Structure 1
């Protein structure tokens, strides 16, 4: 019988965690400190407990070594009594018999956590070239080390895909003195995070850094035998073909939830492609949610706070919160995971770039009528040296804040965090007009730029329309 009935005894239960990333290791350490489990972590990775988010900054030279990204080493987990097995491929899960099967043995569980993360999404025309010795994706620490070794002997870098990781890698290339081309199918960089007007601010900055930015272009082939020598791209509008010489290629065109293992075991997959879980992050099997199998991170489906739509969050901060919910439920302290606003920030060159909630694109897709307000302000009083411009765009729907985008050299994260809470609290434009902000010349203007963006949206309320 699938499912597990709790027993009142002190015997240690067996907790098996598949995946040694942000969710897996956070669950393992939390439960080991506060629970009564024998814990095994099975990971196909060759490293564990490291920061994926920091890898582009090692490539840029901002962090001196990939080893600096390892938060805890294997000895730390061994000393805690956690059995971490790296380079271990789990081949199947048997929910009926409470076992998982690796390439070398069978492991029994009382409780199971699936934290298999995601895998790179490669455009169909490029899949046949991914095994070339200078074509890479960036998902693991090993990937990062391979890319760095290749960049050390490269003069020409091509990055395919201008999402968050892609633009960070492109900036890393020019910081290393490498001729860098960034290719993007969309006309806008960070098109999932920014509207076109805000994206243009960032694109101008990337141009100023010396990146050869080719938006509105699609790669059609990578040329060479074992080693890539050039990339052939096509301009989307004109169909014009162009070849770009290359020593290193990094493909950064998104990820897919890694759900094949769970799906093959009969666990349900949601419409977003992530595993279907309830608010306790328990998986669904045979039309019911199991009390002994959990899933979290990039392999699990979550829900958007504003639209209610299912999606898969790729944020480390989301993964960490999901790990806490799973751990608390394993410890029989009821905890739930609710819909999220998904606040994001990146550092792109000299700019901090953040967004939360809706963009105009997602609003239009979901038939949500929005009003926008924008402002350009400064991070310090006008007379105080060192002030920098900050660009703010807010979106309101039904008079409530529903989205925000901010670009600046300083002051982005704290504003995005505050606006994320305002969205969750369904703050109205009238509430936002009454918002009080602190002031001192070295860190702010007397009137915060957010206030001017709110006032701009208020003026636009009478002309509400789709853009």
Structure 2
């Protein structure tokens, strides 16, 4: 007969959402808490893995944020390399291989799983083919890189682009393949993506767009990627074609999922079960759908800051502090070599899909006074709808994050273009120009709006 263990709170998933919920709950209430995770490691930076592969981080231990001892001292039980086989909502029970966990409250923070296109699924498991998500994935890739001369990355989303830039800097022949004609299509518009594409080519990345591999060849291990009849040598292939919400466990338990594949939650992050939002079952992080600030529709915000924010909401509600999650924007920044790529809100493509009419403003400037050493170009694109800022994209080697953060705040405050024309900015030759390039993008949009009206 299986052992049975009872907890006030059980959390499935040991990523940012699950662990942050656990620690916040323990700080505000004396509850028994268990975290169940399939991963072999806990509390580490997934976002740091591409930079370890690029050689910018000394070792993988540097990516570990908190050790198991930290959670042990807090009184949080951690079960690593442990899969939750099923959830029995009615009897408040989680089935594990060696025991059953009874709970009063449950948090589902199962995160995301790799989206592998059907034609590539048969190659998973071949020696030399990897996905990049966990710390263990990163360690395996790093080991393979020690003897590799060629690498192919399939998928030019944010992680694919970051990884390609880092590996190319190591002197490994790197090819990046993207199905669509423009890379980073979920984050930035094609005109901005072209800036990133040219940068990648300048550091030695062989970029192939508008195509998908015909097959991956190899006997005992990968040897080539065949695309449009051309064989590209590959000692290593990384498949980085996106992340889907990992919701199979929740769905099997009768928890509802939405059109985007994520768990349906309300503003308290309570899951929808049997026609109602449960007061005891919560979901947060990459596995759930929340509300988009601009469209007021369901969206997936699969970013660490959003996961931690959702964890705080869940923990407060578990502890009896009525707290709601307001709609999110999900500002983001990615680093490809020396290039920073930031975005927030709508892209022009997304606006079209939502039937939102937009006008854009664009400017290219420099990040320091022209006579000051180290000045570099910065490209700014602003997107307005009904005179209000609804999106921004910025690319440069410095000054990107702070501008994206401030523009995200302006979107949240529903700033109009007239209000943005009166923005005051600071100036010092080592860090800025007298007129911030942002102002030129605002004025460009203002002229177009006036011309239309």
2:407 corresponds to which residue? Answer: 419
- Report if aligned partners of 2:7, 2:34 keep a CA contact under 8 Å in 1: no
Distance in 1 between the 2:350 and 2:39 partners?
Answer: 35
1:82 corresponds to which residue? Answer: 76
1:5 corresponds to which residue? Answer: none
Aligned pair partner of 1:287 in 245, 263, 275: 275
Distance in 2 between the 1:128 and 1:226 partners?
Answer: 14
Cα distance per residue 1:8-34 (max 9 Å; x no partner): xxxx96110000010111111111122
- Report if aligned partners of 1:126, 1:220 keep a CA contact under 8 Å in 2: no
SS of equivalent residue, structure 1 residue 460:
helix
Distance in 1 between the 2:450 and 2:215 partners?
Answer: 49
1:6 corresponds to which residue? Answer: none
The alpha carbon displacement at 1:226 in A equals: 3.2
SS of equivalent residue, structure 2 residue 327:
coil
1:108 corresponds to which residue? Answer: 102
Q: TM-score, normalised by structure 2?
A: 0.97
SS of equivalent residue, structure 2 residue 122:
helix
* Residue 212 in structure 1 maps to residue 200 in structure 2: no
- Report if aligned partners of 1:163, 1:191 keep a CA contact under 8 Å in 2: yes
1:361 corresponds to which residue? Answer: 349
* Residue 175 in structure 1 maps to residue 169 in structure 2: yes
* Residue 24 in structure 1 maps to residue 12 in structure 2: no
The alpha carbon displacement at 1:382 in A equals: 2.1
- Report if aligned partners of 1:429, 1:458 keep a CA contact under 8 Å in 2: yes
Q: 5+ residue gaps in structure 1?
A: 1-11, 235-240
Aligned pair partner of 2:369 in 368, 381, 396: 381
The alpha carbon displacement at 1:464 in A equals: 5.2
1:203 corresponds to which residue? Answer: 197
| 12-21 vs 347-356, greater mean Cα deviation | 12-21
The alpha carbon displacement at 1:441 in A equals: 1.5
Change in 2 beyond 3 A, CA 1:415/1:449 = same
| 407-416 vs 326-335, greater mean Cα deviation | 326-335
Distance in 2 between the 1:251 and 1:43 partners?
Answer: 23
Cα distance per residue 1:351-379 (max 9 Å; x no partner): 11100001110011111100000011111
1:143 corresponds to which residue? Answer: 137
* Residue 194 in structure 1 maps to residue 188 in structure 2: yes
* Residue 435 in structure 1 maps to residue 427 in structure 2: no
Aligned length, in residue pairs? 448
Q: TM-score, normalised by structure 1?
A: 0.94
Distance in 1 between the 2:170 and 2:426 partners?
Answer: 40
Aligned pair partner of 2:263 in 275, 291, 295: 275
2:3 corresponds to which residue? Answer: none
Distance in 1 between the 2:451 and 2:336 partners?
Answer: 34
Distance in 2 between the 1:168 and 1:68 partners?
Answer: 19
Aligned pair partner of 1:328 in 316, 322, 329: 316
The alpha carbon displacement at 1:155 in A equals: 0.6
1:346 corresponds to which residue? Answer: 334
1:309 corresponds to which residue? Answer: 297
- Report if aligned partners of 2:166, 2:336 keep a CA contact under 8 Å in 1: no
Distance in 2 between the 1:288 and 1:225 partners?
Answer: 52
Q: 5+ residue gaps in structure 2?
A: 1-5
The alpha carbon displacement at 1:191 in A equals: 1.0
Distance in 2 between the 1:112 and 1:320 partners?
Answer: 17
The alpha carbon displacement at 1:220 in A equals: 2.1
1:404 corresponds to which residue? Answer: 392
- Report if aligned partners of 1:369, 1:464 keep a CA contact under 8 Å in 2: no
- Report if aligned partners of 2:178, 2:209 keep a CA contact under 8 Å in 1: yes
